C-alpha cells in the first residue's frame, strides 16, 4: 500500500497533521529539512534531508513507496553548500536557482513539479485536516462593526496588490490607512513592530484590522497562510480590533484557543467570504 510523506517545517502544524494521519492509521513517512527541527523533537524515525541532496531524498521517498506528500510548517531558503551537492542534484540546480529568482511562489511551483516527476502528488494540509480552515462567518462572540468591515475591504485590496508582487500575505489597516505590511520577517515581527510604533506615535489612528489571505493565483496545496493563538495575542498588544481572513483559505492552528483568547480580549475573528 502506498504511503504519504509529511514534509515539515517549524511550528505546530506538522504535529497536528502527524497526529491526524496516525489516528487514521496512515503511518506517514516523516521528513524535515536539516536546520528546521520540528517533528524530530518529539518523534523517532524522521527522515532528515538537505536541499543540496534533493535527488537522493526524492529517491528515498520512492523507495519507501511514497505516492503523496503534504508540506507543513514554516521554512526559509537555506544557504546552499556547493561541496555537498551530489551529481544528480547538480543537474537540477539551474532549475532550482531559476525558480528561486522568481520568488516564493515560483520556488514552490518548482517543488510541486519535481514531486510530480518522481510520481508524488502534493496534497494540501486542509485535505488532511479540513477543520483547519473556517467557513465564512464570525468565530467567537465579537463581530466586526461597519468601520471594521471597511478597513477589512481596504486590507484585502492591499493584499491583492501585494500578492501580485509576491511580497506578503498580511497587512493592518485602521480608518482606511495602511499601518503595516507583512514582508519576509513574517506576521509576528510585523505586529510587534506596530505595537512598538504605537507606543511612540499617538498620532496613528486607533484600532485597526489585521487582514490575512493567500496571494492571488497561489497554489493552495502549499504555503497557505496560517494564524494561531499567538497571533491573537500579538494583535491585542498592537491595539487592533480584530482579525479578518479569507474563508476556507487560511489555516487556523488551535482554533479553540484562538477563539478563547479573542473572546477574552474583545477581538473579533472574521472569516471573510
Per-residue pLDDT of 177-231, as tens digits, reads 999 999 888 899 999 999 999 999 989 999 999 999 998 888 889 888 999 999 9
Quick one: pLDDT at residue 32?
A: 93
pLDDT at 253: 95
Q: Of all residues in the chain, what percent carry a pLDDT higher than 70?
A: 99
**Domain 133-272 in this protein, CATH class:** alpha beta
For residue 11, name the pLDDT band (cuts at 50, 70, 90): confident
Confidence of residue 162 (pLDDT cuts 50, 70, 90): confident
pLDDT at residue 158 tops 90: yes
Across all residues in the chain, what is the average pLDDT? 92
Task: Flag whether pLDDT at 108 surpasses 80.
Answer: no
pLDDT in tens, 22-71: 999 988 999 998 888 888 888 999 999 998 999 999 999 999 999 999 99
Q: What pairs with residue 180 in β-bridges?
A: 172
Quote the pLDDT of residue 47: 95
Q: Work out the percent of the chain whose per-residue pLDDT is above 90.
A: 73
Three cell numbers, residue 257: 484557543
Q: What is the pLDDT of residues 225-263, one digit of tens each?
A: 999 999 999 999 999 999 999 999 999 999 999 999 999
pLDDT of 105 above 80 = no
Alpha helices in 175-268 (DSSP H): 187-200, 229-237, 255-265
pLDDT at residue 76 tops 80: no
Instruction: Evaluate whether 103 touches 39 at the Cβ level (below 8 Å).
Output: no
Alpha-carbon distance of 188 to 171, in angstroms, equals 12
Is 21 in a helix, a strand, or coil?
helix
Could you tell me if 12 and 228 are in contact, meaning their C-beta atoms sit under 8 angstroms apart? yes
Hey, what's the cell of 262? 479573542
Whether pLDDT at 102 is above 80: no
CATH of 3-128, one of 3.40.50.720, 2.60.40.3080, 3.40.50.2300, 3.40.50.20: 3.40.50.20
pLDDT band at residue 101, thresholds of 50, 70 and 90?
confident
- Position 74 scores a pLDDT of 80
Q: How far apart are CA 166 and CA 176, in angstroms?
A: 23
Residue 166 has pLDDT above 80, yes or no: no
Q: Are 171 and 180 a contacting pair, CB within 8 Å?
A: yes
CB 250 within 8 A of CB 133: yes
pLDDT given at position 84: 94
Mean pLDDT calculated for residue range 115-132:
95
pLDDT of residue 107: 77
Helix axes 103-117, 87-101, angle to 10 degrees: 150
* Domain ranges for the chain: 3-128, 133-272
**CA-closest candidate to residue 85, choices 77, 76, 94, 74:** 94
Q: What is the pLDDT of residue 127?
A: 94
Amino acid at each position: 500500500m502506498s504511503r504519504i510523506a509529511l514534509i515539515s517545517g517549524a511550528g505546530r502544524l506538522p504535529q497536528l497533521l502527524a497526529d491526524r494521519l496516525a489516528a487514521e492509521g496512515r503511518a506517514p513517512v516523516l521528513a524535515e529539512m536539516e536546520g528546521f527541527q520540528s517533528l524530530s523533537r518529539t518523534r523517532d524515525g524522521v527522515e532528515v534531508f538537505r536541499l543540496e541532496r534533493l535527488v537522493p531524498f526524492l529517491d528515498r521517498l520512492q523507495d519507501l513507496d511514497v505516492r503523496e506528500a503534504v508540506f507543513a510548517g514554516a521554512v526559509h531558503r537555506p544557504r546552499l553548500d556547493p561541496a555537498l551537492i551530489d551529481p544528480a542534484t547538480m543537474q537540477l540546480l539551474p532549475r532550482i536557482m531559476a525558480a528561486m529568482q522568481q520568488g516564493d511562489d515560483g520556488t514552490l511551483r518548482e517543488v510541486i513539479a519535481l514531486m510530480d516527476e518522481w510520481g508524488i502528488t502534493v496534497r494540501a494540509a486542509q485535505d488532511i485536516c479540513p477543520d483547519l480552515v473556517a467557513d465564512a462567518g464570525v468565530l467567537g462572540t465579537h463581530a466586526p462593526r461597519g468601520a471594521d468591515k471597511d478597513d477589512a475591504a481596504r486590507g484585502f485590496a492591499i493584499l491583492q496588490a501585494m500578492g501580485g508582487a509576491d511580497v506578503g500575505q498580511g497587512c493592518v489597516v485602521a480608518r482606511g490607512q495602511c499601518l503595516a505590511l507583512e514582508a519576509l520577517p513574517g506576521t509576528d515581527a510585523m505586529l510587534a513592530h506596530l505595537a512598538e510604533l504605537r507606543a511612540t506615535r499617538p498620532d496613528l489612528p486607533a484600532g485597526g484590522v489585521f487582514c490575512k489571505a493567500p496571494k492571488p493565483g497561489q497554489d493552495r496545496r502549499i504555503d497557505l497562510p496560517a494564524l494561531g493563538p499567538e497571533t491573537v495575542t500579538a494583535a491585542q498588544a498592537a491595539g487592533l480590533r480584530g482579525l479578518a481572513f479569507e474563508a476556507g483559505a487560511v489555516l487556523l492552528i488551535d482554533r479553540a484557543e484562538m477563539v478563547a483568547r479573542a473572546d477574552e480580549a474583545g477581538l473579533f475573528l472574521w472569516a471573510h467570504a
